[in-house]
Amino acid sequence: MYDRPGVVPASRTDFVLESIKEAILHGKLKPGQALVETDLAATLNVSKTPVREALKTLAGSGLVVMSPYKGATVRTVDAGMAASVYDVRMLLEPEALRRSVELGADLTEARSALEEVPGLARRSLANRRFHRALYAGCGNPLLVGILDGLRDQAALITIAGWGLHPTWDAEAAEHRAILVAAEEGFGDVAADLLRRHIRTFADRVVEELSDVVR
């Protein structure tokens, strides 16, 4: 389950946390799937304690839902969740990018993420890296922390959206346009392109998730 070569977890709990998170974000653990502590512990060759702690942490980040009756399950992406997460991103992420450009932040990581090897799992991770690289240099640690807190849920929504209707080629072109504007120092332009990029994806995914329910 844990498949990130060369990455050494800081502790057993971190190992379990990253293993379960990657399995969810790579689609190995499906939305709505029960997360049974004994099964996960056996798969990862650990005791139930680090599994229990990892599930609590993942519930806090929005990837897992804890129920006193059903236990832990992988969060199911619905239209309401997608609309809420992307509404916050639309409000905060473009402004964070504008400030990053204004401060002359290093965007090398964003450029590197654009060259990531294809494949759904890698695309998802590269997408996370790209967007974080845009806002990480905004100069406001609280703003970065808020956006970081949305990353896992946003990734879950992105994977769900690509599963319904793959659009990564168009999004990659949008990423390139955003990055070019940012690298050339046009912060307002980059922010506007990013806002439109987020809105376009959000509108499509919310509509498609709404159609699935009907």
**CATH number of the domain within which 18 lies:** 1.10.10.10
Q: Tell me, yes or no, whether 175 and 106 share the same domain.
A: yes
The pLDDT value recorded for residue 5 is 41
- Structural domain contains residue 165: yes
35, 49, 55, 45: which is closest to 2 by C-alpha?
45
Domain boundary residue, one of 55, 74, 93: 74
Q: Tell me, yes or no, whether 151 and 207 share the same domain.
A: yes
Q: Tell me, yes or no, whether 163 and 96 share the same domain.
A: yes
Q: Tell me, yes or no, whether 87 and 127 share the same domain.
A: yes
Q: Tell me, yes or no, whether 125 and 25 share the same domain.
A: no
Q: Tell me, yes or no, whether 46 and 110 share the same domain.
A: no
The pLDDT value recorded for residue 134 is 97
Domain boundary residue, one of 44, 74, 104: 74
The pLDDT value recorded for residue 69 is 81
CATH number at residue 107: 1.20.120.530
Q: How does pLDDT run along the chain (214 residues), one tens digit per residue?
A: 544 444 445 578 889 999 998 888 877 888 889 999 999 999 999 999 999 999 999 998 889 999 888 889 998 888 998 999 999 999 999 999 999 999 999 999 999 988 865 555 577 778 889 999 999 999 999 999 999 989 888 888 887 776 656 666 788 899 999 999 999 999 999 999 999 999 998 998 888 888 765 5
Q: Tell me, yes or no, whether 43 and 84 share the same domain.
A: no
The region that residue 72 occupies, defined by phi over 0 for left and psi between -120 and 50 for alpha, beta otherwise, is beta
The pLDDT value recorded for residue 123 is 75
Q: Tell me, yes or no, whether 204 and 124 share the same domain.
A: yes
The pLDDT value recorded for residue 194 is 97
The pLDDT value recorded for residue 165 is 61
Report the sign of the C-alpha dihedral through residues 160, 58, 60, 89, in that order. Answer: negative
SS3 breakdown of the chain: % helix, strand, coil, rounded to 5? 70, 5, 25
- Structural domain contains residue 6: no
Give the residue numbers spanning the domain of 157. 79-213
Q: Tell me, yes or no, whether 113 and 203 share the same domain.
A: yes
For the chain, how many structural domains are there in total? 2
